[in-house]
Amino acid sequence: MVDADQTFVIVGGGLAGAKAAETLRAEGFTGRVILISDERDHPYERPPLSKGYLLGKEERDSVFVHEPAWYAQNDIELHLGQTVDRIDRAAKTVRFGDDGTLVRYDKLLLATGAEPRRLDIPGTDLAGVHHLRRLAHAERLKGVLQHLGRDNGHIVIAGAGWIGLEIAAAAREYGAEVTVIEPAPTPLHGVLGPELGNVFAELHREHGVRFHFGRRLTEIVGQDGMVLAARTDDGEEHPAHDVLAAIGAAPRVALAEAAGLELADRARGGGVAVDERLRTSDPDIYAAGDVASFPLGLFGTRLRVEHWANALNGGPAAARAMLGQDVGYDRVPYFFTDQYDLGMEYSGWAPPGSYDEVVIRGDAGKREFIAFWVKEGRVLAGMNVNVWDVTEQIQRLIRAAVPVDPEALADPHVPLDSLA
């Protein structure tokens, strides 16, 4: 039984942490709720940082999860710009890194998120080298892209994943010249495989993006602290005024690791290992969002999902579990993107090598279709491109885990609801 004398501490001020705090109050918890964030901004959502806000289509205030006054109104003790450097599991305390203040907890939620992977090459200390993870990064990058667009400047992007492609699209909309360097043979290769990765390659080429696949950056060349060019492992030198590193994100597990919590295998994305209730190897500590690696029986594996929907749903699920409710977190992974005139939603999990074929429903050439990744007739994942209001049907097909006739799957005249 949870009572009013208990203290729940949330470390991490992103979407997962903010939604967990909201859920605790919505579920009637009357004890102390302490939310600690190492950022000075109030908790915000990250998708606009590479989409609407970066493009100037959304105001800065639109990114925040709650109005600033909401935290005091709901008796959430919000500590911004504060780090936690130690968890003492025996004493059940967390320690602030700035002044050594100790805070005792009854339940603790780790929502520490992830951080951008860094390029390990010469030249990354130059002023024109960027990452995108935080609001401050987006504010800086927005100004950079506006300047490049005005002056016909050139940005080199290392990585053709979701962030790299969304920044490429934004840069082209501002009018900047864009070159993307990617070691895989297609964009998004690890997620979509070669079949659908080419759809995004052609989309960006039509908008003037230059790709160099099968290549890696080896050096960023500069003068007087400014970027001049980026060199690749084939010896080519690409002119550049700015460079963006978009080579993925690493879960922020240092705090959990130092506390002796079980971590997931790095080969499967790493992160803090949790059970279906989002509980770590310590029964009083939970983890949610980008940092959590949770078991997903539907796919017979453990996953760490870095997307918005996982933070949106995982934070509340962890909060309910902390309150002792019966929680089983088994959400089908979901994410979305908007690039130029292409809007897309993806549900499921089907990395290269896990599927037999990709079945297309609709016209891929016109970029108005649904793609299904299929193994032995079973739908593992589905991606709807400029086709809307089908996510629920796609996820039902995935959850059904039964063979589906590929001809019916490909036929737009056969309702998806009839296949599950």
* 333 is a domain residue: no
Domain end call among 221, 247, 273? 247
Looking at the fold, whether 218 and 136 belong to one and the same domain comes out as yes
Looking at the fold, whether 85 and 139 belong to one and the same domain comes out as no
Looking at the fold, whether 133 and 234 belong to one and the same domain comes out as yes
Looking at the fold, whether 143 and 241 belong to one and the same domain comes out as yes
Domain end call among 322, 350, 369? 322
Looking at the fold, whether 137 and 243 belong to one and the same domain comes out as yes
Give the model's pLDDT for residue 2: 64
Domain end call among 190, 225, 247? 247
Looking at the fold, whether 77 and 177 belong to one and the same domain comes out as no
Q: What is the C-alpha separation between 25 and 76, in angstroms, rounded?
A: 9
Looking at the fold, whether 238 and 297 belong to one and the same domain comes out as no
Burial of 74 per CB tally in 10 Å (0-12, 13-18, 19+): middle
Two structure tokens written together for 114 = 């992830």
CATH number at residue 29: 3.50.50.60
Which residues are paired to 11 by β-bridges?
A: 36, 110
- Average pLDDT for consecutive 10-residue bins of the chain (420 residues)? 84 97 98 97 95 94 96 98 97 95 97 96 96 96 96 96 97 98 96 91 97 98 95 97 96 98 91 98 98 92 92 97 96 95 96 94 95 96 97 96 95 93
Looking at the fold, whether 59 and 21 belong to one and the same domain comes out as yes
Give the model's pLDDT for residue 272: 98
Give the model's pLDDT for residue 300: 87
CATH number at residue 387: 3.30.390.30
Looking at the fold, whether 30 and 65 belong to one and the same domain comes out as yes
Residue length of the chain: 420
Two structure tokens written together for 58 = 């959304």
Give residue 303's Cα distance to chain centre: 13
* 51 is a domain residue: yes
End-to-end CA distance of the chain: 40
The total of structural domains in the chain comes to: 3
Give the model's pLDDT for residue 420: 78
Looking at the fold, whether 298 and 151 belong to one and the same domain comes out as no
Give residue 80's Cα distance to chain centre: 22
Give the model's pLDDT for residue 194: 86
Looking at the fold, whether 242 and 133 belong to one and the same domain comes out as yes
* 2 is a domain residue: no
Two structure tokens written together for 402 = 């039964």
* 285 is a domain residue: yes
Measured over the CA atoms of residue 91, residue 93, residue 98 and residue 99, the dihedral's sign is negative
Looking at the fold, whether 108 and 254 belong to one and the same domain comes out as yes
* 335 is a domain residue: no
Q: Quick one: three-class SS letters along the chain? A: CCCCCCEEEEECCCHHHHHHHHHHHHCCCCCEEEEECCCCCCCECCHHHHCCCCCCCCCHHHHECCCHHHHHHCCEEEECCCCEEEEECCCCEEEECCCCCEEECCEEEECCCEEECCCCCCCCCCCCEECCCCHHHHHHHHHHHHHHHHHCCEEEEECCCHHHHHHHHHHHHHCCEEEEEECCCCCCHHHHHHHHHHHHHHHHHHCCCEEEECCCEEEEEEECCEEEEEEECCCCEEECCEEEECCCEEECCHHHHHCCCCECCHHHCCCEECCCCCECCCCCEEECHHHEEEEECCCCEEECCCCHHHHHHHHHHHHHHHCCCCCCCCCCCEEEEEECCEEEEEEECCCCCCCCEEEEEEECCCCEEEEEEEECCEEEEEEEECCCCCHHHHHHHHHHCCCCCHHHHHCCCCCHHHCC
Q: What is the C-alpha separation between 399 and 333, in angstroms, rounded?
A: 11
Question: Which residues constitute the domain of residue 212?
Answer: 129-247
* 120 is a domain residue: no
- Which of 157, 207, 152 is closest to 179 using CA atoms? 157
* 41 is a domain residue: yes
* 212 is a domain residue: yes
